[in-house]
């Protein structure tokens, strides 16, 4: 049974039993605790935490998930996969244990002909919490399971909580007996390789006040409504139903292994070490495909760093398997063709996905080249100190700073006859992971406590939000907060949060900044500093008291949005849609917005693209945008379901969460621009005024940013540009049309003059080279020049040192050390000829000897080495040391 069919059956089963099928959320959710969605219930957290009211009582989903803690374990076990799919059914105060158990049992053991999975009931075992006698009895009654196949496990295994105060409850796990060839009999308590868990049913029934660990928490009392949260591992069920050994061999993953085997000429199943590499390739290629599909681009931080690691580990594994060609171009399309059966977007967006992935592979090839040079330098340093092992710190720096994989470092060290302090490296990696966990734990405590806002919402209902309809409302105060707690009054100069029964203010969202304006009341006035929605449905104003005192019980307030602010905000937000449409028209449909920000008169738009735009492309984007303004295109919006919006061609942005039942689609010029958007907009494109693109730059690997001014701010920018042109034409005595040529001519003449000056300067520097060579000191038969040059930097010092070396008598040993001092810094260069090196003299050793005296260090090769320092007071001592070192080496 193919994975896509298992997925379909799961969804159909719960749809038949009254569940609303909720599409998978993006892997990227706005949750400070998570890089990625890592469990099927994550999109439903606001409902379980009581922050939002669920729109359905029963729901089912197949959620895309990524877990990153065990990336290095991928391929070594049958269970660890970075990307996986979690099938879940959820009840919000509807059915409870009996329903959850019955639904799961009928699907797992139901016949294939009737839409079930067809597992043999005699091979099913379950675990329960010892105190959950109700679940034990239900499994016995509903499924007919004998009590010996219902095993008890403690809190660590069979109690669920979120790790923070909130809902919790016992859970019951379903296991499938794979047979005696996989381990001993005796159920999950005896062996979890033979008895494989496929489904976990969580019975949320308690409110936890403190959570110290998975098994150490305080129960505050029962939840107001009991909920069900389940999770069934789609990949696990797939490899059981497909008769495979592990998740890497299922139909959605194994074709990549097959293609990798073809490319490398190696056989999967022939070598355990190679098998791990094949699995890493298959898992990471699929995971990268899904991450890029959801808008992640490679980078050096957070999500981008995870994706970069996955791609580079896959490429590196192919290299270890013997394939040095462009691997992703061969493997990514294979993964696409399997995953598109469940996720059509990986096919429709493959042009963008592949561009991002292939660019990263090309970048990694350059990293390998640069990393090899860094490794060679580190290896040389190790040998120079008489050691035979790279330190853990050196290996960690190569890995963490330069993206050089540790296994590559190990391989190259072995080839160079060196070892690596792997224990030191692992310790530093562990410290880094612990810092990351500590940071995550600290962020976990930074969740805003929404309980006070939830209380207002529960008591008064949602805010009557009128931002689309008016700029002024007569309102009354519902609540007043300061520092997250209710207060009776705000006095002049104080800042607090005000909740109104109705408001015309736009709350920051969708990249649009919050409205500015004032709120007036009898005897006073407030300045609105910010407007947010801490919980869905409630609008909260951050205000500063400008005049008077504001009691919490104020019944009559006049809220007024700054008209000019809103006008500029509408122009900028509509301008963002116009630029996005122009971008896609110029670059193609794969140039999709990945983020935006707009405030009155200004917009910036981030989009996935792997190379810098040419000036002509930027010009075309600006021109297409302004042609749309000139065409006075109508701007409209309407509400529809998310599915209807997608069918209509509306663009949804990466990482955004949308209501399944109703979304707002904004269109400009009909199908030319259709996007899901909750912002405020102009009514015709001409009202934007103008779009002036002011810049285009990189904001990370595979991500670009366009910035532009709109409206009055756009015209003001053009006026400033005009003034600059006017002043330059006056200074250069030329016409505007000739200005570029005139400036180019001046720049070229300046460059030529600088080159001539440089030639003269170098000639003067080298003019004394012959004299220095002629005056060389003789030490033990070696010509030695130790010279100081004030006002010279590293490049000049190197030039002089090599020049003097070339002037020393041919066929006789010679050593040159030149020290330069410039702006408080010291440059040291040593150069030796062949005859000197035959006598045991090394430029690298001389630089290492001199370096500490000038407060620095350095190194290089035996013929030329270079270093630097910051202590100019001991230059003469350093020069004297040269003669001492030469004398010691040659035994003079």
Neighbouring CB atoms inside 10 A of 284's CB total 29
**Quick one: tokens of 748?**
């070229």
Check if the beta carbon of residue 645 is closer than 8 Å to that of residue 676: yes
**Residue 222 burial by Cβ neighbours in a 10 Å radius (0-12, 13-18, 19+):** exposed
For 202, residues 6+ apart whose C-beta sits below 8 A from its C-beta are: 41, 160, 169, 170, 171, 228, 229, 230, 231
Is 577 marked as binding a ligand? Answer: yes
Q: Which two tokens stand for residue 52?
A: 């939002």
How is residue 228 written in tokens? Answer: 């069900």
Beta-carbon contacts of residue 78 (< 8 Å; ≥ 6 apart): 193, 239, 245, 246, 247
User: How many other C-beta atoms can be found within 10 angstroms of the C-beta atom of residue 275?
Assistant: 19
Instruction: Report whether 88 contacts 63 (CB < 8 A).
Output: yes
Task: Identify whether the C-beta of residue 479 lies closer than 8 Å to the C-beta of residue 501.
Answer: no
Rounded Cα–Cα distance for residues 423 and 430 (Å): 10
CA distances from 277 to 311, 320, 617, 795, 884 (A): 13, 8, 42, 45, 54
Contact 504, 473 (CB under 8 A): yes
- The helix or strand, by DSSP H or E, that contains position 480, with its residue range, turns out to be strand 477-482
Those residues whose C-beta lies under 8 Å from the C-beta of residue 653, and which sit 6 or more positions away, are 295, 593, 594, 595, 675, 676
Beta bridge partners of 484: none
Do the Cβ atoms of 761 and 793 come closer than 8 Å?
no
> Can you tell me which residue has the tokens 């407060």?
855
R_g (Cα) of the chain, nearest Å: 35
573 is in an annotated binding site: yes
Q: Which of 260, 235, 278 is nearest to 331 (CA)?
A: 260
Q: Pull the structure tokens for residue 828.
A: 């040291």
Rounded CA gap, 356 and 337, in Å?
18
3-class DSSP state for residue 377? helix
Give me 294's structure tokens.
Answer: 């959801």
* Angle at 704 (CA atoms; ends 700, 708), nearest 5 degrees: 135
Three-state DSSP at 822 gives: strand
Long-range CB pairs of 547-550 (<8 Å, 24+ gap) are 547/492, 547/523, 548/492, 548/521, 548/523, 548/524, 549/489, 549/490, 549/491, 549/492, 549/523, 549/524, 550/477, 550/480, 550/489, 550/490, 550/498, 550/521, 550/524, 550/526
Q: Cite the annotated binding site by residue number.
A: 573, 577, 677, 681
Q: Cite the annotated binding site for Zn(2+) by residue number.
A: 573, 577, 677, 681
């Amino acid at each position: 049974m193919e994975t896509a069919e298992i997925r379909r059956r799961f969804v159909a089963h719960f749809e038949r039993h009254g569940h609303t099928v909720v599409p998978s959320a993006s892997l990227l959710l706005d949750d400070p605790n998570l890089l990625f969605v890592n469990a099927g219930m994550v999109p439903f957290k606001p409902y379980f935490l009581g922050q939002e009211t669920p729109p359905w009582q029963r729901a089912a989903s197949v959620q895309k998930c990524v877990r990153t803690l065990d990336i290095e374990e991928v391929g070594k076990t049958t269970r660890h996969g970075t990307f996986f799919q979690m099938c879940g059914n959820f009840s919000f105060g509807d059915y409870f244990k009996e329903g959850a158990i019955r639904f799961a049992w009928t699907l797992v053991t139901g016949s294939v002909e009737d839409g079930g999975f067809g597992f043999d009931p005699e091979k099913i075992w379950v675990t329960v919490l010892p105190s959950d006698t109700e679940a034990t009895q239900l499994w016995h009654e509903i499924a007919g399971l004998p009590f010996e196949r219902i095993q008890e496990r403690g809190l660590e295994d069979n109690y669920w909580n979120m790790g923070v105060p909130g809902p919790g409850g016992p859970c019951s796990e379903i296991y499938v007996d794979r047979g005696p060839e996989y381990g001993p009999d005796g159920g999950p308590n005896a062996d979890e390789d033979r008895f494989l868990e496929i489904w976990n049913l969580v019975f949320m029934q308690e409110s936890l006040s403190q959570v110290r660990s998975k098994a150490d928490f305080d129960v505050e009392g029962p939840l107001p409504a009991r909920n069900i949260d389940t999770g069934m591992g789609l990949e696990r069920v797939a490899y059981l139903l497909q008769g495979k050994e592990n998740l890497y061999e299922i139909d959605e993953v194994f074709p990549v292994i097959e293609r990798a085997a073809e490319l490398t000429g190696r056989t999967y199943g022939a070598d355990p070490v190679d098998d791990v590499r094949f699995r890493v390739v298959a898992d990471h290629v699929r995971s990268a495909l899904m991450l890029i599909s959801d808008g992640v681009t490679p980078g050096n931080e957070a999500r981008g760093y995870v994706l970069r690691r996955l791609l580079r580990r896959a490429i590196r594994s192919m290299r270890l398997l013997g394939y040095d060609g462009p691997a992703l171009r061969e493997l990514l399309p294979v993964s696409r063709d399997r995953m598109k059966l469940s996720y059509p977007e990986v096919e429709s967006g493959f042009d963008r996905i592949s561009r991002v992935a292939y660019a990263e592979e090309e970048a990694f090839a350059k990293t390998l080249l640069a990393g090899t040079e860094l490794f060679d330098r580190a290896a040389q340093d190790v040998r120079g100190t008489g050691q035979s092992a790279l330190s853990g710190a050196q290996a960690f720096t190569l890995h963490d700073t330069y993206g050089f994989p540790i296994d590559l470092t190990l391989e190259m060290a072995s080839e160079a006859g060196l070892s690596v302090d792997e224990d030191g490296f692992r310790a530093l990696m562990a410290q880094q992971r612990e810092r990351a966990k500590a940071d995550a734990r600290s962020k976990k405590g930074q969740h805003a406590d929404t309980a006070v806002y939830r209380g207002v919402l529960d008591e008064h209902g949602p805010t009557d939000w009128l931002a689309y309809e008016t700029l002024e409302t007569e309102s009354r105060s519902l609540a007043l907060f300061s520092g997250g707690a209710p207060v009776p009054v705000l006095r002049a100069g104080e800042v607090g949060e005000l909740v109104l029964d109705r408001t015309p203010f736009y709350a920051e969202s969708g990249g649009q900044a919050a409205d500015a304006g004032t709120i007036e009341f009898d005897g006073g006035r407030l300045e609105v500093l910010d407007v947010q929605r801490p919980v869905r449905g409630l609008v909260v104003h951050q205000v500063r008291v400008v005049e008077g005192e504001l009691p919490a019980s104020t019944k009559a307030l006049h809220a007024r949005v700054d008209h000019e602010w809103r006008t500029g905000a509408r122009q900028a937000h509509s301008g963002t849609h116009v630029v996005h449409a122009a971008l896609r028209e110029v670059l193609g449909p794969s140039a999709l917005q990945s983020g935006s920000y707009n405030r009155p008169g200004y917009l910036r738009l981030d989009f996935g693209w792997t190379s810098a735009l040419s000036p002509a492309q930027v010009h075309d984007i600006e021109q297409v945008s302004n042609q749309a303004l000139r065409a006075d295109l109508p701007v409209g919006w309407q509400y529809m379901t998310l599915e209807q919006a997608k069918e209509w061609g509306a663009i949804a942005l990466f990482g955004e969460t949308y209501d399944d039942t109703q979304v707002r689609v904004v269109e400009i010029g009909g199908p030319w621009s259709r996007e899901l958007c909750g912002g405020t907009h102009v009514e015709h494109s001409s009202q934007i005024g103008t779009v002036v693109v002011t810049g285009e730059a990189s904001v990370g690997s595979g991500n670009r940013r366009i910035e532009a001014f709109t409206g009055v701010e756009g015209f003001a920018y053009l006026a400033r540009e005009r003034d600059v042109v006017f002043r330059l034409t006056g200074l250069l005595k030329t016409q505007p049309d000739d200005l570029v040529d005139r400036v180019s001519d001046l720049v070229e003449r300046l460059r030529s003059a600088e080159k001539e000056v440089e030639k003269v300067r170098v000639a003067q520097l080298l003019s004394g080279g012959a004299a220095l060579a002629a005056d060389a000191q003789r030490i033990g038969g070696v010509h030695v020049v130790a010279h100081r040059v004030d006002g010279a930097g590293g490049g000049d010092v190197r030039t002089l040192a090599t020049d003097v070396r070339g002037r020393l008598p041919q066929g006789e040993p010679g050593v040159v050390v030149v020290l330069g001092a410039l702006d408080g810094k010291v440059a040291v260069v040593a150069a030796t000829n062949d005859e000197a090196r035959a006598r045991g003299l090394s430029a690298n050793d001389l630089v290492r000897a001199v370096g500490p005296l000038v407060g620095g260090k350095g190194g290089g090769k035996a013929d030329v080495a270079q270093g630097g320092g910051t202590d100019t007071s001991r230059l003469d001592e350093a020069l004297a040391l040269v003669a001492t070192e030469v004398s010691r080496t040659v035994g003079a």
